[in-house]
Structure 1
Amino acid sequence: MEFHVSLVGRDDLTGQIFQQVRAAILDGRLRAGDALPPTRELAQRLAVSRNTVSAAYDRLTAEGFLEARTGSGTFVREAGLGRQPEPARGQDLRALPVWDTISPPRPEDRRFEFDFRIGIPDMRLFPFASWRRILARQFTPAGMEVVVHDSAASHPALSAALARHIGVSRAVRASADDVLVTNGAQQAVDLVARILLEPGTVAAVEDPGYIGPRDVFRSQGATVVGVPVDDEGIVVSALPSDARLVYVTPSHQFPLGMPMSLSRRTALLDWAERTGAVIIEDDYDSEFRFGGRPIEPLQNLDRSGRVVYVGSLSKVLMPPLRMGFLIAPPSLRPALRAAKYVNDWHSTRPMQATLAEFIDEGLLARHIRRTRSEYRARHELITAIFRRDFADVLTPVPVVAGMHVSAYLTDGPDDVDIVKAARRAGVAVHALSPFSHQLPGRTGLALGYGGIQRDSIEEGLRRLRACISSVRRAG
């Protein structure tokens, strides 16, 4: 094992080695059974005589910390001496106050029998064999070549493939040079915030809306203002005139699900041109449209260069891949590329190259068609059961796209209480009220259908209906 020893001066070198090895054992950094470096190796590394190291090892052995095994080496004894290291001093260190108000989601410590959580795709539908075949070609010396020049730039093949893909599937106007690959849509939003927001700058968000961008803006010191949404999307007349930035999900509003009407999209673009604001268009779940006419992106309607288009392939592919991208007006591209470099240098190159081939071979389009068909069937089943069994307690929000459905509660039960009761019954759903920012939001539930199989939906909803009834009786 590589073990760090730092010697100061030339006094009592054996004692210094003894004290540092002993401290590492007591702190638990060296655990029972760990092998120590041979005396000759450690002596060479420390530029001391072998006798100096041997004397330290002998003393540690005599005191019961080490044991020598003939022909094997020197090991920490199985004596239960390890303990957790004491916390480092620094109680006077404090992060900025805003970080006390931002709480990352905790990883789930259990599996749910009926998993209706949002944003979880059905991994059984993913073509793993095809992905592995392409990925294997990237794990070669050429594929793993370190990029030094312009390392923040996206993989050229992926930039070109994404430009073609979104040009065909979403009518987005972009060339390969316009595309910046990011680690998911969240990083894309973070990069835009980094280059545009200063402390006190006003940023507008949909209310209710996606929590992630809201936290990004707050972390930059921005003043975040919630703007109401109705059945046509964000209410443009309620936007603050001093907003520098507005974040919207026009193709499939999160979390409610309705698309932004054409008149509202036009009004939003007019507002941005008039005020000089930037629009972040998150094309959330646009791939999974199974009804109605396709919604033309704001980016395609924009004629004054006010829109930054953000997309993610995390749910389309696999969430752990963290694949996203953004397309920005030319004036912002140098700053965004610099921000990407400062943030993390670049996204993983082998994965980018793999995705490029995956798109070019037509596998992404085929995968989207397959999953869209399956998710449509699950959506139709859930909404049919809602009409049959939930008409007195839930009012679904009409949607024609996405991987989840939202519904308002028709009377008083607390949606958070319902979620807690459902989880005790093995059913995972989301409450709508936590997605509200400043405005009093309506209570309701949001149910994803990527993580649950069709044959489990009816029983899961039966249990959810029982939980709603029990919470209503208790209230």
Structure 2
Amino acid sequence: MDVHISLDGRRDLAAQVYRQLLDAVLDGRLRSGERLPPTRELARRLEISRNTVALAYDRLVADGFLTGRAGAGTFVSAEPVRGRTAPKGVIRPRAVWEDMKTPERLQPTRYDFRVGVPDARLFPMQTWRRLVARELRANVAGYGDPAGHEPLREAISRHIGLSRSVQAGAGDVLITGGAQQALDLIGRVLIEPNAVVAVEEPGYPPARLLFRTLGARVVGVPVDGEGIDVSALPGEARIVYVTPSHQFPLGTPMSLTRRTALLAWAERRRAVVIEDDYDSEFRFGERPLEPLQSLDRAGRVIYVGSFSKTLLPMLRLGFLVAPASLAPALRAARQLSDWHGEVPTQAALARFIDEGLLARHIRKATREYAARHAMIAEALAGDERLRPVPSTAGLHLCARLAPGVSVRPTPGLAVEALEAYCGQAPAQHGLVLGYGAIGTDAIPEGLRLLRSRMSAGPEAATSLT
């Protein structure tokens, strides 16, 4: 065990060694059972006499903090009595960070209707381990390409071209650490101080908060049954963030008429549209509409995708497809941010896609999620206190609560309130129920418990657990 000791001058050297080792034991940097360096080795490193180190060790043994074992060495014998903390300091963050409250993540529970959580049991973990192990055995050295592993970029361009009609080659794709990093890179490249960014209301809170931290003035724009209300877009907005395939959190798709109007508005205003194709892979009904990216003829759409829902959130794999005019800046932003992602993981995903395993997994998961979606939608439709919002895709569905109805927090039941996705008053009143984290067999009892906790009264809290 290497121990850092800093000596000040040449006086009381044994006492200095003693105090610093004692502090390391007390605050837990040296843990019970760990072996200290031999006195000869530590003395050589500190350029002091061995007797000086031995004196400090003997004092710690006498005080009960160390134990000497003949022929084995000197070991820590005490448990830490205080935690190590950094100085409180006087440095303050920028004002936007002072009151920053990121969305609360509900903890796993028995009846788990959390949003945005796929069922890990459906993921072919053994196959994934095999692919990752194969890449780790390969001769991997040096830094990777900031734009991402080229075979993965090629695989993604083919995949989204076939499954979503996205017009992109490998050179148009940039690999990111999930959709959130994609939004961060886009914001770094495009957002000027005090620029206006329009977002959906209700909408995805992490995107709204991220744009604020980058210096933007974020304006919520109402969403109706056809998607974002283009006529309500602020004229000064130069970036519009939308989830057209499966609006988050309501679940309704943006109509073709509204898509066309949004693209025309962006061209007139010389604005950028960020299209987040949130969990659109899981479709249970009607044929999906063309993405904004494939309808765009002026090069004003940046397409963002993620594998957090189709695979696993822990993999942190996403991508963006941007017009060629932005590619150099986005590549530089990725390099300055964290240089590149994990190359073995990216290489494993490339094989996962090329061998048809991703398509197979999506088909299997879609069948399971469709059954859960139908079960919940049918149950909610039979309760006059709830008005389900029609949806045919994704990992969650939304239901509006009748006036005066609320849900009491209940141990063992995790449900999210629609209010948590609203950025401005008055907040909308409803529930957002995910069905990726809850097994099919637990849904009926979970819904029964939910209905039993609904009553007239104050509006529901933002965290219903």
Query: TM-score with structure 1 length normalisation?
Result: 0.93
1:409 and 2:408 correspond: no
Equivalence for 1:166: 160
Q: CA offset at residue 294 of structure 1?
A: 1.4
1:186 and 2:180 correspond: yes
Q: Matches of 1:259 and 1:106 in 2, distance apart?
A: 26
Equivalence for 2:114: 117
1:83 and 2:82 correspond: yes
Equivalence for 2:213: 219
Q: Matches of 1:82 and 1:33 in 2, distance apart?
A: 15
Cα 1:210–1:387 shift into 2, 3 Å: same
Question: What per-residue deviation string (whole Å, max 9, x for no partner) do you get for residues 390-444 of structure 1?
Answer: 1x10111111111111011122134xxx1x52x32x2211100121112423201
Q: Matches of 2:207 and 2:353 in 1, distance apart?
A: 28
Equivalence for 2:191: 197
Structure 1 range deviating more: 447-456 or 199-208: 447-456
Q: Matches of 2:457 and 2:69 in 1, distance apart?
A: 65
Question: What per-residue deviation string (whole Å, max 9, x for no partner) do you get for residues 275-315 of structure 1?
Answer: 11111000011101111121100000111111110001111
Q: CA offset at residue 237 of structure 1?
A: 0.7
Letter in 2 for 1:155: H
Q: CA offset at residue 66 of structure 1?
A: 2.2
Query: TM-score with structure 2 length normalisation?
Result: 0.94
Question: Residue 264 of structure 2 aligns to a residue in which SS?
Answer: helix
Q: CA offset at residue 29 of structure 1?
A: 2.5
Q: CA offset at residue 59 of structure 1?
A: 2.9
Equivalence for 2:26: 26
Give the conservation status (yes or no) of the 8 Å contact 1:31–1:82. no
Q: CA offset at residue 2 of structure 1?
A: 1.7
Q: CA offset at residue 460 of structure 1?
A: 1.1
One of 127, 137, 140 as aligned partner of 2:137: 140
Letter in 2 for 1:69: R
Q: CA offset at residue 49 of structure 1?
A: 2.9
Q: CA offset at residue 378 of structure 1?
A: 1.1
Structure 1 range deviating more: 282-291 or 53-62: 53-62
Equivalence for 2:388: 396
Equivalence for 2:366: 372
Cα 1:45–1:119 shift into 2, 3 Å: same
Q: CA offset at residue 48 of structure 1?
A: 2.7
1:57 and 2:57 correspond: yes
Q: Matches of 1:382 and 1:108 in 2, distance apart?
A: 20
Q: Matches of 2:80 and 2:425 in 1, distance apart?
A: 56
Q: Matches of 1:308 and 1:397 in 2, distance apart?
A: 28
User: What is the root-mean-square deviation in Å for CA atoms of aligned residues?
Assistant: 1.9
Q: CA offset at residue 88 of structure 1?
A: 1.3
Q: Matches of 1:448 and 1:167 in 2, distance apart?
A: 28
The equivalences for 1:440-451 within 5 A come to 440-451=426-437
Q: Matches of 1:107 and 1:44 in 2, distance apart?
A: 51
How many residues align structurally? 460
Equivalence for 1:292: 286
Structure 1 range deviating more: 209-218 or 436-445: 436-445
Letter in 1 for 2:8: V
Equivalence for 2:92: 94
Q: CA offset at residue 105 of structure 1?
A: 4.3
Equivalence for 2:13: 13
Q: CA offset at residue 87 of structure 1?
A: 5.0
Q: Matches of 2:181 and 2:129 in 1, distance apart?
A: 26
Q: Matches of 1:123 and 1:49 in 2, distance apart?
A: 58
Cα 1:131–1:64 shift into 2, 3 Å: closer
Question: Residue 458 of structure 1 aligns to a residue in which SS?
Answer: helix
Q: Matches of 2:184 and 2:326 in 1, distance apart?
A: 14
Structure 1: gaps (5+ residues): none
Structure 1 range deviating more: 237-246 or 447-456: 447-456
Question: Residue 368 of structure 2 aligns to a residue in which SS?
Answer: helix
Equivalence for 1:458: 444
Q: Matches of 1:473 and 1:261 in 2, distance apart?
A: 31
Give the conservation status (yes or no) of the 8 Å contact 2:106–2:414. no
Question: What per-residue deviation string (whole Å, max 9, x for no partner) do you get for residues 248-279 of structure 1?
Answer: 00000000000001111011111111111111
The equivalences for 1:348-387 within 5 A come to 348-387=342-381
Give the conservation status (yes or no) of the 8 Å contact 1:32–1:82. no
Equivalence for 1:432: 418
Give the conservation status (yes or no) of the 8 Å contact 1:226–1:439. no
Give the conservation status (yes or no) of the 8 Å contact 2:404–2:459. no
Question: What per-residue deviation string (whole Å, max 9, x for no partner) do you get for residues 118-154 of structure 1?
Answer: 1111111111121112111011251x32226xx4120
Q: CA offset at residue 61 of structure 1?
A: 2.5
Q: CA offset at residue 16 of structure 1?
A: 2.2
Structure 2: gaps (5+ residues): 461-465
Q: Matches of 1:317 and 1:469 in 2, distance apart?
A: 37
1:255 and 2:249 correspond: yes
One of 302, 315, 333 as aligned partner of 1:321: 315
